């Protein structure tokens, strides 16, 4: 403690002897200031408040900082905070025995670059530009020599006075001119090559710098009073944009066992202007940036539109007011239908604690973290819609896993082979339904018989049309294959159009998946077996009228 003041447990101040020596007059103010600060327990400006943990949401982050407090501390000042969080979202909490008092926030401009790697890149780019400027000087010097040598002649030059060579030693002079000219031209060529390489490095550096830049031009200083009875911690938290995570799923189907392995991964990124070093990371499916309350319900009022009256000729009366809207909500102005709102349940989120410390650079680089694996029992089948496409597609249906799942892309593998990518919308389905590519061992044949048309009826003639189709499906698999054969049948939306339907065999499901007019067969094909489906539709409609939607 030589040269520094300190205080006893009873509060009395003791000043080191170096403050009372021959140089007392020079240092007494400094010593007294330090002694007073120590006596009052006031923390110096720029208290360290490292980032300890972060909660990542899709589209935002909640940052937690930590300040260590010694007994007797009275004031804390933290510099270098980002300026892009709302002050009213800031939370400051002390551990047991630490009370938080008056708090103030001040934003100030700064020329300091918040990211050291950003500063390093800018310095490197500037160094490259300086080298390029030096090369420009060399090129200009070589160009000057070249121009002077070009003016050397035995006569005159129309572009300016010529340098006349006369006397003895002309051959030696010309040889020197030749060598100097060659050297200057070689220098210019070398400079051009070096400049091209420097330009490529500068362009690459600018691209890296653009990815890295956070856009911060200032910093926020947080100051607050505290009363610390004993040592403890002060926790500071605030939300930030420019960070988040999104899910990435990987689903692998074992067609023999009917098992689906579903892996959830998180792609995390952040560009907040501050690197996160060895932080505790927690991922949440909550979305605090979305609305927290839904629309209010109001009465649905119906009214008749006022009758339109032809205005009298040459009337000078003011025009009638516009009729009220045909559909209006009580207590609210008529407006366009609201945009579709994504469905979510804020109180029921799923969180993932990453077990190991995580470091994320503030350059937007995406990092993938594995979160969870699920083994699901699924029913595997081939879906076929022969009227639309004569191809079988493998799909697996399983109960939806427990928890809150976010929409995301799914990488699909079937028996170890990558088959493609799909997108899962968990909020729209109460089950997990995943496609797994084409099944080329199931063959589909579609045949359309010749349509028959005619007229019928005694009093009012009606047109008619018969449509006959045949689907034949066969399997080359070594084992049995479950099929889901779907056929969209004609549905009348007009009382004047009558539709009679006949199927062989009878469909297992009418209006499959609540889709009007879609019928489904669910047979199982044994190895080498084939099956046939026949559809017969008879349409009746007023003669002379055109029916829309016919094939």
Distance CA 71, CA 481 (A): 74
DSSP-H helix ranges across 213-314: none
The angle, 0 to 180 degrees and rounded to 10, between the axes of the packed helices 170-212 and 116-150 is 160
Domains and CATH numbers, the chain: 6-40 (no CATH), 51-114+215-240 (2.60.120), 116-212 (1.10.287), 244-287+348-380+399-431 (2.60.40), 442-542 (no CATH)
Give the Cα separation of 504 and 488 in Å (integer). 15
* Number of neighbours of residue 541 by Cβ within 10 angstroms: 19
Q: Which two tokens stand for residue 469?
A: 């189709």
Q: How far is CA 496 from CA 459, 462, 472, 540, 541, in A?
A: 15, 10, 34, 8, 6
Give the per-residue pLDDT at 72. Answer: 87
Predicted pLDDT at 211: 61
Proportion of the chain in helix, strand, coil states, percent, rounded to 5: 20, 40, 40
pLDDT recorded at residue 348: 63
Q: Are 234 and 69 in contact (CB under 8 A)?
A: yes
pTM of the model: 0.64
Return the pLDDT at 28: 36
What is the structure's pLDDT at 64? Answer: 95
Give CA–CA dist 350/269, Å, rounded.
19
Q: Is the dihedral of CA 342, 90, 99, 47 positive or negative?
A: positive
**pLDDT values of the chain reduced to their tens digit, one per residue, 551 residues:** 333 333 333 333 333 333 333 333 333 333 333 333 343 344 444 578 999 999 999 989 999 999 999 998 888 999 888 888 888 899 999 988 898 988 899 988 765 555 666 677 777 878 878 887 777 777 776 667 666 666 654 444 555 555 555 555 556 665 666 666 677 777 777 877 787 888 888 877 776 666 666 555 678 899 999 998 889 999 999 999 889 999 999 999 999 999 999 999 999 999 887 889 999 999 999 888 777 777 777 777 767 667 666 655 444 444 444 433 333 333 333 344 433 322 233 456 888 888 888 999 888 889 999 888 999 999 999 999 999 999 999 999 999 888 889 999 999 999 999 999 999 998 888 899 999 999 999 999 999 887 777 666 555 578 888 999 999 999 999 999 999 999 999 999 888 889 999 999 999 999 999 899 999 999 999 999 999 999 999 988 888 888 888 77
Q: Is 176 helix (H, G, I), strand (E, B) or coil?
A: helix
Joined tokens for residue 529: 């077996």
Spell out where 16-97 has E strands: 51-57, 60-69, 75-81, 91-94
Residue with structure tokens 């080191």?
16
Going along 350-451, which residue ranges are E strands?
Answer: 351-353, 358-360, 367-377, 379-385, 389-399, 408-414, 417-424, 431-438, 442-448
Collapse the DSSP code of 30 into the 3-class scheme (helix H, G, I; strand E, B; otherwise coil) and give the result. helix
Give CA–CA dist 137/143, Å, rounded.
Answer: 10
């Amino acid at each position: 403690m030589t040269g520094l003041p300190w205080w006893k447990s009873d509060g009395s101040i003791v000043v080191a002897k170096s403050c009372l020596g021959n140089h007392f007059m020079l240092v007494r103010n400094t010593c007294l200031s330090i002694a007073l600060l120590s006596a009052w327990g006031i923390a110096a400006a720029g208290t360290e408040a490292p980032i300890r943990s972060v909660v990542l949401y899709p589209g935002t982050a909640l940052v937690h900082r930590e300040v260590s407090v010694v007994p007797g501390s009275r004031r804390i000042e933290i510099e270098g905070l980002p300026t892009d969080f709302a002050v009213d979202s800031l939370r400051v909490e002390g551990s047991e025995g630490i009370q938080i008092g008056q708090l103030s926030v001040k934003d100030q401009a700064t020329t300091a670059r918040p990211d050291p790697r950003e500063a390093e890149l800018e310095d490197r780019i500037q160094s490259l530009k300086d080298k390029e400027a030096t090369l420009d000087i060399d090129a200009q010097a070589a160009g000057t020599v070249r121009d002077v040598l070009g003016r050397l002649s035995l006569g005159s030059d129309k572009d300016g006075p010529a340098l006349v060579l006369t006397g003895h030693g002309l051959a030696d002079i010309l040889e020197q001119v030749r060598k100097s000219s060659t050297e200057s031209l070689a220098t210019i060529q070398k400079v051009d090559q070096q400049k091209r390489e420097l330009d490529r490095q500068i362009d690459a550096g600018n691209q890296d710098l653009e990815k890295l830049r956070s856009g911060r031009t200032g910093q926020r200083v947080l100051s607050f009073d505290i009363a610390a009875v004993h040592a403890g911690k002060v926790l500071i938290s605030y939300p930030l944009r420019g960070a988040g995570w999104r899910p990435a799923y990987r689903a692998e189907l074992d067609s023999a066992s009917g098992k689906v392995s579903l892996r959830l991964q998180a792609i995390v990124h952040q560009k907040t202007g501050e690197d996160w070093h060895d932080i505790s990371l927690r991922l949440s499916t909550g979305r605090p940036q979305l609305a927290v309350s839904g629309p209010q319900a109001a009465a649905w009022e119906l009214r008749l539109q006022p009758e339109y009256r032809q205005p009298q000729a040459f009337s000078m009366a003011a025009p009638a007011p516009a009729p009220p809207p045909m559909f209006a909500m009580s207590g609210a102005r008529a407006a366009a239908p609201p945009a579709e709102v994504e469905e979510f349940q804020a109180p029921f989120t799923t969180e993932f604690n990453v077990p190991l410390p995580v470091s994320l650079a503030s350059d937007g680089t995406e990092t993938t973290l594995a979160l969870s694996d699920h083994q699901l029992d699924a029913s595997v089948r081939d879906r076929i819609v022969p009227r639309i496409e004569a191809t079988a597609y493998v799909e697996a249906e399983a109960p939806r896993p427990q928890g809150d799942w976010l929409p995301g892309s799914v990488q699909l593998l079937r028996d170890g082979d990558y088959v493609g990518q799909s997108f899962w919308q968990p909020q729209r389905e109460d089950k997990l339904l995943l496609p797994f590519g084409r099944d080329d061992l199931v063959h589909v044949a579609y045949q359309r018989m010749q349509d028959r048309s005619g007229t019928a009826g005694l009093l009012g003639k009606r047109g008619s049309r018969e449509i006959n189709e045949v689907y034949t499906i066969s399997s080359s698999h070594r084992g049995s294959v479950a099929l889901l054969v779907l056929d969209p049948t004609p549905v009348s939306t007009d009382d004047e159009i009558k539709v009679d339907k006949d199927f062989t065999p009878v469909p297992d499901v009418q209006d499959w998946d609540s889709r009007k007019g879609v019928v489904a067969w669910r047979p199982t094909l044994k190895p080498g077996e084939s099956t046939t489906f026949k559809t017969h539709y008879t349409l009746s409609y007023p003669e002379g009228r055109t029916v829309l939607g016919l094939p």
